[in-house]
Structure 1
Amino acid sequence: MGVLEDLEGARQAYERREWVSAYQRLSGVDSAELRGDDFSALAITAFLLGHRNDCVQALQRAYQVNLDAGDTRAAVRSAYWLTQVLWMGGEVAIGNGWLARAERLLDDLGEDVVERGYLLHEAMLRHVMRGEFAQAAELAPRITGYGRRFADADLVAMGLHSEGRLAIYGGEVAMGLRLLDEAMVAVVAGEVGPMFAGAIYCSSIEMCQEISDFGRAGEWTHALTGWCAAQPGLVAFTGQCAVHRGQLMRLHGAFGDAVREFERAAERYAATGGGPAVGMSHYERGEALRMRGEYGAAEAAYDLAAQCGHPAQPGQALLWLERGRTAAAAAAVRRLLTERADPVHRSQVLPAAVEVLVAAGDVDAAHTAAEELAGIASAFDCTALRAAAGYAAASVAIARGEAESALAGARRAADTWRRLSAPYEVARCTVLVGRALRLLGDESSAVADLAAARRAFAGLDAVPAERAAAALLVEAAAPGGLSPREVEVLRLVAAGRSNPQIAAELTLSEKTVSRHLSNIFTKLDVGSRTAAAAFAFEHRLV
C-alpha cells in the first residue's frame, strides 16, 4: 500500500472508532504527510489507549501544523485539548500556558466562534478548581449556549453536564439531576465524541455517588461498562469505571470483590499516567478494607489517597474510632464540619460525624449533626441519604435513651437499605433495633435481632461489626438489662461519685450522665442513688 492508502485506512479506522488500528496506522505514516486533523486524531487515539506522552506530543504537532496553515480555530482547539490533558495529569502550570496561547489567538481573531465556548469551559474549570462555584455556575449556561448556537453536540452536552453539577452543588439537586440526565441522553445516543463522552459518563456517576443516589449511579455505571467494553483496547476512563463498579460492590456487601476492583482501578490509572484521580481508588479501597477489619491495610490505603491529593477523611476518622482513638476521630470530624460548607460535601461527612460524636459522648453535637443530615436528605430526596439520616437519628436516640423513637427510626432505615440491596447497612440498622428493644426491656426480642445482625456480618466477612454485635449479645447477661455504659455509671454511683465526677471519669457530659441514671432507675425500678448502689452490691457489680 502507498502512503495515501495507508493514511486513508488510518482515517477510516478512526471514524469506525477502531482505536488500536487507527493509532498503529497513524503512528506508522510519515509525519510529514499528516495534516492537523490527523495529528488530532492520533492524539485522541493515544489518549484513549493510555499513551499520554504520545497524546501530548501529537497535540503540540497539531497546534503548530494548524497555526502554520493559518487555521487559527483548529490551533485553538489543539491548545484546548492540551490544556485538558495537562490539567488531568496534574501539570496545571503548563496547561495554563497553553490556555493563555489559545486565548491570545482568539483575541487576535476577533470573531465570535464556537471555540470561545470551549475556552469558557476552561475558564469554568479554573473556577471549580479554586472552589469558586458561584462564578463557575455563571459560565456554564453560556457554554451550553455556544454549543446550541453553533450546533456543536460536544459543547452542548458538556455545558448541560456542567450546569447540572453546579446546580447540585448549589443545592438545586432535582434540577441538577435533570440536566445531568439530559446530557447523558446525548452521550448514550452516540452524539458526543469519545473524549467528552467518557468524561461525562465518569463525572455523572461521581456526582451520583457524592449525593448517595445509588440507583442512578448503578444505571450509569452499567452503561459506562458497556461503552468501555465496546471499544477494544480502551484504557482511558476504565479506571474510574472500575472505581464505580467497586463502589456498587461494596454497597451490596461484596467487600473482597470491591477491594480487587479498586486495585484494578489503580492499575488502570497508572497505565494512563496516574494523576489526582488515582487517590479516589485508594480511598475507596481503604473503606472496604476498614469494613473487613484489615486496619493496617486500610490505614495504608488512606495514606496513599492523601499522597495523591484525595482526602482521607471521613473514612480515616472512622478507622481511628474503631481502633480506640476516639479523641483523634472526634477532632477530625469537628474540623471537617467547619471546612466543608456546601450541602453535597457536608452530606458525605455528617453520617460519620454523628457516629464519632455519639461514641465520644458529645450527644448534643451529634443530635445537631443528625438533624442537619435529615434536612439535606429531605432536600436532595435521595433514598440512600434518607436511610443514612434515619440511622444517624436512631443512633442519637439510643444515646439519649429515647428507645421508642430509636426503634421506629432504625426499622425505617433498615427497610430503606433493604430496598437498595445493602446488607451491611441493613445489619447495622438491625443492631440499633436490638439496642432499642433492650432499652424497652424486651430482652428476648433484642437478642434475636442482635443475633441476626451478627450472622449477617459474619456472612459478609465484616469482622469488626460481627465482633461488636457479639459483644452486645454478651450484655444479655448483665442484671436488670443494663447496658455496659449503664453498668459503668452504676459502679461509680455505688463508689460514691457525684454526677460531675462520673462525667469527668467517663468523658461524658453531665446531661448524658443524668440520662443514664434515669434509665438505670427505670430498669431497676428504684428511686434513689442509694437503692441503685444497693442493687450494684447485691449483684456483685462493684
Structure 2
Amino acid sequence: MNELLSRAHAAYQRHDWQRAEELFDEARARGGLGADDLHAVADASWWLGHLDRSLETAAEAYRCYLDDTQPRRAAMEALGIAYLHALRGDEAEASGWMSRAAGLLSGEPDCPEQAYLAYLVDVEGGLDRWELDSVLTAADVVRESGRRHSDTTLVALGLTGRGHALIRQGRVADGMAALDDAMTTSLHDGLSPDWVGNVYCHLMSACHEVADVPRARHWTAAASRWVDSFSAAVLFAGICRVHRAQILQEAGAWEEAEREAARVCTDVEHLAVGTAAEAHYQVGEVRRLRGDYDGALAEYQRARELGRDPQPGSALVRLAQGQADAASSSIRAALLAETGDRLVRARLLAAQVEIALSAGDIETARAASAELSETAARYGSAGLNALARQAEGLVSLADGGAEEALPILRDACRLWRELDAPYECARVRLVLAQAYMALGDDDAAAAEQSVAADVFKRLGAAPDSPKPPRWGVGPPLPDGLTRREVEVLGLVAHGRTNRQIATSLTLSEKTVARHLSNIFAKTGVSSRTEAAAYAFQHRLAP
C-alpha cells in the first residue's frame, strides 16, 4: 500500500495527472486515502477537467484536515474549493467556502495561508472593484509574506496584483515590468502549477486592456510550451487557447482562430464560465469579420448568457447589416453601463466613432474620439494609440479635413502595421484612399485601395465590411473650405480667441492658427473682422 501511494505521489509530482489519478484510485480501493492523498487526487482531477470529482474529493480532504486538527491545511483546501466554484460561476458556493477559510485562519498566528486569503479577497476583489490604491497595499503585504515565509508563489502573486493595479492607474511600464517578473517566476522558478494560470490570466487581461499585442504573443507562446510539458491540462490549455485565438485573429489567421476558440467552448464550458464566455465572443468576432452575421450574433448571445457583454461586436454586426440606429443605441447603452473602467470603454469608444459617423452624427464621434485619445495618452500603449489615431483620422476626414486627416491616418496605418494587425491596417488604408482622393491624388488612392483589397482577399474578409461609408459628404462649402475650417470661422465670427477656439474644438492653438491661415488664403480676407463678415455673408455662422 505504501509503495502504491509513493508511486501515485511520484506521478503527481511529475504532473502526470492521468497516471496519478489511476494509482490513487487503486490505493483507495485497497484501503482508503489520507488528507494529503485526497488533496492530490482533487488537484489531478482539476487538471484533467473532472471538475465535479475534483470538488467532491477536495471536500473530503477538507474534512480530513479538520479531523486531523490541521486548520491551516483545511483553510487552503476551502480556498481551493471556493476558487473552483467561482470559475464555474457558483458565486454563493464560492462565498460560503471563502467564509469557512477566513473563519479557520482568524485565530491563527502569522502564516502563508493568511496571505493567500488576502490575495483572493483584497487583491483580486479590489481589482474587480477598481480600488487600486488598496490593491497596491494588499499586494505588497502578500509579497512580503511570501518573502518572510520563503513562499515563491506568494511573491509572484503579490507582483501580479501590484502590476495589474499599476497598469490600471496608468503606470503601464512599471506595471508590465512587475507582471513580466511574476510570469517569469511562474514558469521558471518552480511556482505551484495551480497558481500559474492565475498569474497568466492577469497578464493576458492587462495586455488585452491596453492592447499590448506583442507581449501577449510572447507570453502565450511561453505558457503554451509550459503546459505542453504536462501529460494533460484541460482547463489551463483552454485558457491558453482562448488567448491564442485572440492573437491569431489580430494576425489575420482567422480560420485557425475560430477553430481554437470553438474548441475552448466545447472543452471548458462546464469548468470555467468566464473562459467559455470569452471563447464564444471570440468565435463571434471571427464570424463577424468573415461576414457570417447570423453566426456571429448567435455566438455573442451565448457569450451574453455566460456573463460576457457582447459589445462592441454585436453593435458592429448591426452596423454591417445597415442598421445604424440599432447599432448606435446598442453602443450608447454599453458605454452608459460601463462608466468606471476606462480600458473597457476604449474599444467601445472606437466602435462608437465608426457607428456615429455612419449615422452622420459627427458630434458624438468627435466626443468619443476625444475620450479615446485621452485614454491612449494616459496608458501609452501602441495598440491604444493605434485605435485613437484611427478614430481621430476618421473624424477629421468626416469633417471635411483631408489635409488634417492624412498624416493622422498614415500614423494609424504605421502603428497597426508595426503591431502586425493586417486587417485593421487595411481598413485604415481604405480611409487613406478617401483622403488622397479628396486631395486629388488619385494614384495614391488607387495604390492604397489595391493593397487593402489584396489583404481582404487573403483574409477572407466580408465583402461589405472593409467598405466604410464616404463620411463627410454633404452640401458643398464655399471657396473649398473644409467643415473644420467652417467651425473655426464660425467661432471667429463670434469673437472667440485662438485659445478659446482650441479649447472648444479640442485642438492645439497651433492647429487653430493653421486653420485660420488656410481660411484667409481661401476666402481672400486679411483680418479676423473681414473673416467674420465673410462668415455671416455666407451663412456660415448663426
- TM-score normalized by structure 1? 0.84
Q: Matched residue of 2:307: which SS?
A: coil
Correspondence 1:183-202 to 2 at 5 A: 183-202=182-201
Matches within 5 A, 1:268-287: 268-270=267-269, 273-287=271-285
State the alpha-carbon separation in 1 of the partners of residues 295 and 113 from structure 2. Answer: 47
Give the structure 1 partner of residue 110 of structure 2.
Answer: 112
Amino acid at match of 2:279: S
Distance 1:485-1:355 versus aligned 2 partners, 3 A rule: closer
| Contact kept? 1:280, 1:305, Cα under 8 Å | yes
1:305 aligns with 2:303: yes
Specify the code of the residue in structure 1 equivalent to 2:96. Answer: G
Aligned-partner SS, 1:276? helix
Match of 1:262 in 2: 261
Q: Match of 1:430, as an amino acid?
A: R
Deviation at 1:464, TM superposition (A): 3.5
- Who is 1:514 aligned against? none
Deviation at 1:462, TM superposition (A): 0.6
The percentage of counterpart residues that share the same residue type is 33
Partner of 1:480: none
Instruction: Check conservation: 1:154, 1:193, Cα contact below 8 A.
Output: yes
Asked if the contact 2:289/2:465 (under 8 Å) is kept, the reply is: no
Between 1:167-176 and 1:287-296, the stretch displaced more is 167-176
The answer to whether residue 289 in structure 2 is matched with residue 291 in structure 1 is yes
Q: 1:127 to 1:381 in 2, by over 3 A?
A: closer
Counterpart in the other structure of 2:394: 395
Q: Please state how far the C-alpha of 1:94 moved relative to its aligned partner.
A: 1.3
Aligned pairs (5 A) from 1:107-506 = 107=106, 109-124=107-122, 125-129=124-128, 132-133=131-132, 135-270=134-269, 273-338=271-336, 339-465=338-464, 468=467, 486=473, 489=475
3-state secondary structure, aligned to 2:274 = coil
Counterpart-to-counterpart distance in 2, 1:12 and 1:137: 38
Report the residue type matching 2:161 in the other structure. S
Distance (whole Å) between structure 2 residues aligned to residue 51 and residue 133 of structure 1: 35
What is the distance in 2 between the residues matched to 1:379 and 1:70? 52
Q: Distance in 1 between matches of 2:471 and 2:423?
A: 24
| Cα distance in structure 1, aligned partners of 2:320 and 2:455 | 19
**Matches for 1:519-534 after TM superposition, within 5 Å:** none
Give the counterpart letter for 1:463 in structure 2. Answer: A
Q: Is the 8 A contact 2:303 2:309 kept in 1?
A: yes
Displacement, 1:110?
Answer: 3.5
Q: Distance in 1 between matches of 2:4 and 2:187?
A: 32
Give the CA deviation at 1:97. Answer: 1.3
In the alignment, is the contact (CA less than 8 A) between 2:102 and 2:117 conserved in 1? yes
What is the deviation of 1:215? 0.5
Distance in 2 (CA, whole Å) between partners of 1:110 and 1:22 is: 33
Matched position secondary structure for 1:30: helix
Kept in 2: contact 1:154–1:192 (CA 8 A): yes
**In structure 2, C-alpha distance between the alignment counterparts of 1:47 and 1:359, rounded to whole Å:** 48
- Listed one character per residue, the Cα deviations across residues 139-185 of structure 1 (whole Å, up to 9, x for unaligned) are 22222222222111111111211121122223222221111111112
Q: Shift in Å at residue 118 of structure 1?
A: 1.3
Equivalent residues of 2:352, 2:365 under 8 A apart: yes
* C-alpha contact 2:399 2:472 (8 A) present in aligned 1: no
Deviation at 1:117, TM superposition (A): 0.6
Q: Measured at CA, do residues 247 and 350 of structure 1 come closer, stay the same or move farther in structure 2, by a change above 3 Å?
A: same
Equivalent-residue separation in structure 1 for 2:260 and 2:28 (angstroms): 40
Instruction: Detail structure 1 runs of 4+ shifted over 6 Å in the superposition.
Output: none
Question: CA separation in 1, counterparts of 2:446 and 2:35?
Answer: 72
**Other-structure match for 1:476:** none
How many residues in Structure 1 have an aligned counterpart in Structure 2?
482
Structure 1: unaligned runs, 5 residues or longer: 473-482, 491-510, 512-517, 523-527, 529-542
Distance 1:187 1:276 in 2: 22
Letter aligned with residue 431 of structure 2? L
**3-state SS in 2 of match to 1:401:** coil
CA distance in 2 between counterparts of 1:360 and 1:171 reads: 33
Partners of 1:484 and 1:410 in 2: how far apart? 14
Offset at 1:133?
4.9
What is the deviation of 1:274? 4.4
Q: Which amino acid aligns with 2:3?
A: E
Q: Match of 2:162, SS?
A: helix
Label 1:26 to 1:117 Cα distance change in 2 as closer, same or farther (>3 A): same
In 2, Cα distance between the equivalents of 1:323 and 1:312? 17
> What CA distance in whole angstroms lies between the structure 2 residues aligned with 1:467 and 1:212?
22
Q: Quick one: distance in 1 between partners of 2:132 and 2:40?
A: 33
SS at match of 2:234: coil
Output the amino acid matched with 2:284.
G
Of the structure 1 ranges 90-99 and 391-400, higher mean CA displacement relative to structure 2 is found in 90-99
Q: Distance in 2 between matches of 1:402 and 1:129?
A: 42
Question: Cα gap change, 1:293/1:433 in structure 2, threshold over 3 Å: closer, same or farther?
Answer: same
Contact 2:135 2:165 in 1 (8 A): yes
- Residue 72 (structure 2) pairs with residue 73 (structure 1): yes
Shift, 1:485, TM fit: 6.5
Distance in 1 separating the partners of 2:110 and 2:362: 59
The change in CA–CA distance for 1:73 and 1:371 in structure 2 (over 3 A counts) is same
RMSD: 2.6
CA contact (8 A) 1:390 1:413 kept: yes
Partner of 2:23: 25
- Is the CA contact 1:210–1:348 (under 8 Å) kept in the aligned structure 2? no
Q: Label 1:184 to 1:273 Cα distance change in 2 as closer, same or farther (>3 A).
A: closer
Question: 1:305 deviation in Å?
Answer: 0.5
Structure 1 residue 87: Cα displacement: 1.1
User: In structure 1, how many angstroms separate the alpha carbons of the residues matched to 2:137 and 2:324?
Assistant: 43
- Alpha-carbon displacement from aligned partner over 1:177-217 (angstroms, at most 9, x marks no partner): 11111111211214211110122123312321221000000
Q: Deviations over 1:59-94 (max 9, x none)?
A: 111111111111111111111111111111111111
Q: Distance in 1 between matches of 2:255 and 2:464?
A: 16
Structure 1 position 450, deviation (Å):
1.9
**1:4 shift after superposition:** 1.2
Question: TM-score with structure 2 length normalisation?
Answer: 0.84
Shift of residue 402, structure 1, vs aligned partner:
0.8
Check whether the contact 1:143–1:156 (CA below 8 A) recurs between aligned residues. Answer: yes
Q: Give the direction of change, closer, same or farther, for the CA distance of 1:131–1:376 in structure 2 (3 Å limit).
A: closer
- Secondary structure of 1:233 counterpart: coil
Structure 2 CA distance, aligned partners of 1:45 and 1:283? 29
Query: Who is 1:537 aligned against?
Result: none
CA contact (8 A) 2:61 2:77 kept: yes
1:385–1:128 CA distance, 2 compared to 1 (3 A): closer
SS, match of residue 468 in structure 1 = coil
